[in-house]
Every structure is written in structure tokens, then in C-alpha cells.
A and B are shown apart, each in its own frame.
Chain A
Amino acid sequence: MKTETKKIVAKTGNEAAAYAMKQINPDVVAAYPITPSTEIIQIFSKYVADGEVDTEFIPVESEHSAISVCIGASTGGARVMTATSSQGLALMHEILYIASSFRLPIVMIVGNRALSGPINIHCDHSDTMGSRDSGWIQIYCENANEVYHTIINAVKISEKVNLPCMVMMDGFIVTHGMENVLILEDEEVREFLGKREPLYSILDLKNPITVGPLALYDYYMEHKRSQVDAILKSKKIISDVFEEYNRKFGLSIPSFIEEYFLDDAEIAVIAMSSASGTLKEAVDLLREKGERVGILRLKITRPFPYEILRKKLENLKVVGVMDRAETFSTMGGPVSIEVKAALYSLIKRPLIQSFVFGLGGREFSLEDAIKVFDILKKINKENKLEEEFIYIGLRE
């Protein structure tokens, strides 16, 4: 079996990301350093300096320029990557929409970090949740190993769908925490990815094209619909690419969701990224006591896998949704609102409790995870929600 040739190495999330980038050997990388994803580009620029990749590395003066350079290079048919966090992603905001509407594959690795203010450098998802409607595919990883494998898949998905893709990991918790990462050989990665076949190229001088034209009320709406079509079609491509990868390398990297004791569960928690690890631990403890609890880890939020959620959650009694970001809608975090919307059309649906936790790097402990399940058990017993949203780990 192929698995035996694979190596396990100790890497932080940032190191794993930079290593994946080295093996991918992209044509162009343009980036500006920002905590906590600085290291990705720092390590990658060393690979460039040491001649280990033949990437054109463009150190720019801001994130706005970084993503603009990525767009320019991608319109020319190059394989393009970048990395950022928080305010850096916010500074890219207006350009994100241009990348997706131009249908440009670009892979951006994001170390999730809270948006100011107050200024904070620690983990939450307010940065990427702020960009969730920009037309990019968004993938949230649980740990460094998944970051490594997901980045490789993201390149292929992005180029097959012709849409840009963000790969997320929790700032500091995963970006700076060292874990076991199972790595492939350089050739395996390069063979899996092959060459990019661009939809169009502005460098094709024999067939001149106009990129970025004006489309007013006569055409803008049709172009948006066509972008929706692309992201709809991406669903199958995403599953297929992960499946091909897992089959080829004997792995089981999840695509849209990961289930943990969900099959026979009565109560479940939907969580993303590293927090689901803590919740899995809580499930282990509760399962020992015979309680039917489970986890659904949501890995991809764009496209939103509502069909899968309907199927998986239909028969549950109570579902808690963990949000590491606020919406100020007074209805809780962004994911819980979308989960509610996804399940609304079901005739029989679970009660859904929204939880907000871990903002700005606030610790999410095992006790907190158990508390979440306790609240859900109470809701199940009384068959009613207590409050619209509940804050976990907050000083009252």
C-alpha cells in the first residue's frame, strides 16, 4: 500500500502550509506579512531564496496590492497563492469580489484572527466570516495535518472550478501549535495537480481579450447568476477532488463535513476548525456515560452544504451551533443563522441553539464543551429554547 512510503513530520500549521506551498511550487506568490500567518510567507520566501522553488515571489506594500498582484498573475494563467489574516483580509475585501467574478483560481491561506477593534491578534472567525459572500470557496481546517492536505486539494479544486479558494486554520491554536503531519512526496503532489489549464489568458497575444469590463444594469445581474452557477457546480468537483486524493494516497481527509458519533445521536453540536477537537473529547466522555451525543464538523461554508446538513440533522432532537464570530443581528453567529435557514424547509426539524464562544482567542475548555452539551440536554428535556443565543466563556 502507498501509505507506507509516507513520512510523518512535526510541523506547526504555518510550517505545514509553507511546506505544501513548496511542494506545489506555484508560479507566483504575492504577500504581505500579518500575524498570525506571517510565518507562512516567511518560510516560503526562504524556499524561494534557497532556490527550492521557482516561484516568482513578489513582496508588496500591502494586502490590497498582494491580492491585486495575484489577480494580475492569475489572468495570465499562472498558478497563484497568497496568505493573510484579519485586517489584511479586510484590506483585500474589495479585490476579493473581483477575483471571484473574473473566475480566477487563487489559493489563499488564512490564519483566522479577530478583526479590530479593540485590536486583537488572536483567533476568531470574524475575518473570514466577513468575506463569506465574496464568491470565494471557504474551507476551515481542524489541525495542521488537514491544513497541509487541504491546501493541495484546494489548488486542484480552485483550478477546476475556476474560482478562488480560501483555506483557513485557527490563528495561534493551529498556526503556531506543533502537530504530526503526514506528508507526501514532491512528485506525488505535482503529479496530482498537473498543470493549470486556464479559462483564458491575457498573455495569449494571438487571441486578445478584454478582462474586467463594465457591466451595468444591462449585464451585471446575468454575470452574478453565472457566478452562482459556478459555485453550484463546485459542489461535485470538491467532493470528487477530495475523493480522488484520498483514494490515491490512502487517506481520509474530509471534504464538506466530518461526522463524530452522529449516526445514532439525539443531540449534536455543529462546530468548525480546532474547537471541534475539544468537543470530540467531550463527546468521548459523555458517550462513556451512555449519552447519545455527536459532532458534525462543518469544513466548507462556501458553497454551503445545506443538502448534507438537512440529511444529517433531520432526525436529531436538538442541535447546537458554535460560532466563533458575531453578526450583531441579535440572533447569534453567522453559521447558526445559516444552519437555521438550511433546515427551515424540513417538515420535521431539530431545535437549534446558537452559541457564541472563543472571540478574540478566549479559551474554549473541555468544561465549556461539556457545558454546551448540558445546555442542549436541558433544551431536549424541556423541548424549548432558552434564549436566542448563548455566550460560552463570558464573564457575566
Chain B
Amino acid sequence: MKLKPWRELEEGAVIKNVPTSLKYKTGEWKKESPLFDSEKCTHCLLCWLYCPDFVIKVKDGKIYKFDLDYCKGCGICSKVCPKGAILMKEEKI
């Protein structure tokens, strides 16, 4: 990326036209990814409640997707799942 000269900076070090956190794919940092087994899942939604990054998407009370673009691979979902429906697997990038 080309760095801007000082005259082109926004005054007050403000960043305009901000890319919000939606555009910032924090999932790129992770080492492990959750592997979801829908067969074992009872949709108790504990994992949904505990995921710190709102990765687990629910519609009509049921999990339908893990949005891995924002998953940091912390493994909390896997730890709290009473059914062993989420396994963490190493991801090689």
C-alpha cells in the first residue's frame, strides 16, 4: 500500500469513509476452526450464546451457519457444547 504524504491526511487524524468491522475479516487470524456436526446438535444454542464474535447464525431457533470470516478459533463453542457437536480442527493457511 502506498503511504500518503502529510498534506493528504485528514485533519485531526480522523478516518473518513470508514470500513466498519464488517469489512475487517478477523477470521483470518485463526489457527483452528470449529467443525459443526448438525446430526449431534440439539440446538440448545449455548454455543450461540457464548461465541464472543457472533459467528454462529441462528434462524427460527436453529443453527444454520458458522460465519468463519469472523471466527477467531477460540474454541469456546466447542467447550460449552454439551453434545460434543463442535470439534476444533487445525487449519492450515
With A209-B18, A225-B6 known to touch, is A215 a contact of B13 (CB < 8 Å)?
Answer: yes
Nearest CB in chain B to that of A104: its residue: B12
- Asked if B93 is an interface residue, CB under 8 A from chain A, the answer is no
Decide yes or no whether A162 CB sits under 8 A from chain B. Answer: yes
CA A104 to CA B14, docked complex, whole Å: 11
**Residue among A104, A162, A218, A223 with most chain B CB within 10 A:** A223
| Interface positions of B from 1 to 32, Cβ below 8 Å from A | 3-7, 9, 11-16, 18, 20
Q: A218-B3, A222-B4, A226-B7 are in contact. Are A211 and B16 (CB under 8 A)?
A: no
Closest chain B residue, CB of each to CB of A221? B6
Chain A neighbourhood of B3, CB < 8 A? 218-219
CB distance from B16 to the nearest CB of A (A): 5
Interface flags, B73-93, vs A, CB<8A=1, else 0 = 000000000000000000000
**Distance to closest chain B CB from A135 (angstroms):** 12
Q: Which residue of B lies closest to A207 (CB)?
A: B16
How far does the Cβ of B14 sit from chain A's closest Cβ, in whole Å? Answer: 5
In the bound complex, do residue B13 and residue A209 qualify as a contact, i.e. CB atoms below 8 Å apart?
no
8 Å CB contact of B12 from A162, A207, A218: A162
The reply to whether the CB of A48 lies closer than 8 angstroms to some CB of chain B is no
Question: Does B13 contact A101, Cβ atoms closer than 8 Å?
Answer: yes
Contact with B along A220-234 (1 / 0, CB 8 A): 011101100110000
Chain A interface, >50% SS class:
loop
Question: With contacts A208-B20, A218-B3 known, is A223 near B14, CB below 8 A?
Answer: no
A210 and B6 contact, CB distance less than 8 A: no
Closest to A223 in B: B13
Instruction: Please indicate which of the listed interface residues A213, A226, A229 has the most CB atoms of chain B within 10 Å of its own CB.
Output: A226
Of the four ranges (under 10, 10 to 19, 20 to 34, 35 or more), the interface on chain A belongs to 20 to 34
Q: Which residue of B lies closest to A103 (CB)?
A: B12
A209 touches B9 (CB 8 A): no
Interface residue tally for chain B (C-beta within 8 Å) = 14
Given A219-B3, A222-B4, A222-B6 in contact, is the A212-B11 Cβ separation under 8 Å? Answer: no
CA distance A101 to B11 in the complex (A): 9
Contact A211 B12 (CB under 8 A): yes
Within the complex, which residue of A209, A225, A230 is in contact with B14, where a contact is CB–CB below 8 Å? A209
Quote the shortest CB–CB distance from B30 to chain A (angstroms): 22
B residues near A208, Cβ cutoff 8 Å: 18, 20
Closest to A215 in B: B13
**Which residues from chain A contact B18 at a C-beta distance below 8 Å?**
208-210
Tell me which residues from 173 to 211 in chain A have a Cβ below 8 Å from any Cβ of chain B. Answer: 199-200, 207-211
Within 8 A of B (CB), among A265-286: none
Q: Which chain A residues lie closer than 8 Å to B14 at the CB level?
A: 102, 199-200, 209-211
Chain A, residue nearest B3 (CB) = A218
- Chain B residue, CB-CB nearest to A230: B11
Instruction: Point out the residues of chain B lying under 8 angstroms from A226, CB to CB.
Output: 6-7, 9, 11
Q: How long is the Cα–Cα vector from A213 to B9 in the complex, in angstroms?
A: 13
Chain B: minimal CB distance from A70 (Å): 15
CB neighbours of A102 from chain B (8 A): 12-14
Q: How far is the CA of A339 from the CA of B32 in the complex (A)?
A: 63
List chain A residues, Cβ under 8 A from B12: 101-104, 162, 199-200, 211
B11's nearest neighbour on chain A, judged by CB, is A103
Q: Is the CB of A162 within 8 A of B11?
A: yes
In the bound assembly, the distance between CA atoms of A221 and B3 in angstroms comes to 12
Which residues of chain A have C-beta atoms less than 8 A from B6's C-beta? 221-223, 225-226, 229
Closest to A102 in B: B12
- What are the residues of chain B within 8 A of A103 when measuring CB–CB? 11-12
A313-365 residues with Cβ-Cβ distance < 8 A to B are none
B7: A residues at CB distance < 8 A = 226, 229
Known: A207-B16, A209-B16. A222 touches B5 (CB 8 A): yes
Where the two chains meet, the residues of A that have a C-beta atom closer than 8 Å to any C-beta of B are 101-104, 162, 199-200, 207-213, 215, 218-219, 221-223, 225-226, 229-230
* Apart from the given pairs A213-B15, A226-B9, 5 other A-B contacts in the complex at a CB distance below 8 Å: A199-B11, A207-B16, A211-B14, A223-B9, A226-B6
| Interface pairs (19), CB distance under 8 Å | A101-B12, A102-B12, A103-B12, A162-B12, A199-B11, A200-B14, A208-B18, A208-B20, A209-B15, A210-B14, A210-B15, A211-B13, A211-B14, A219-B4, A222-B4, A222-B5, A223-B13, A225-B6, A226-B6
Give the 4 A-B residue pairs with the shortest CB-CB distance, closest first. Answer: A103-B12, A222-B6, A210-B15, A225-B6
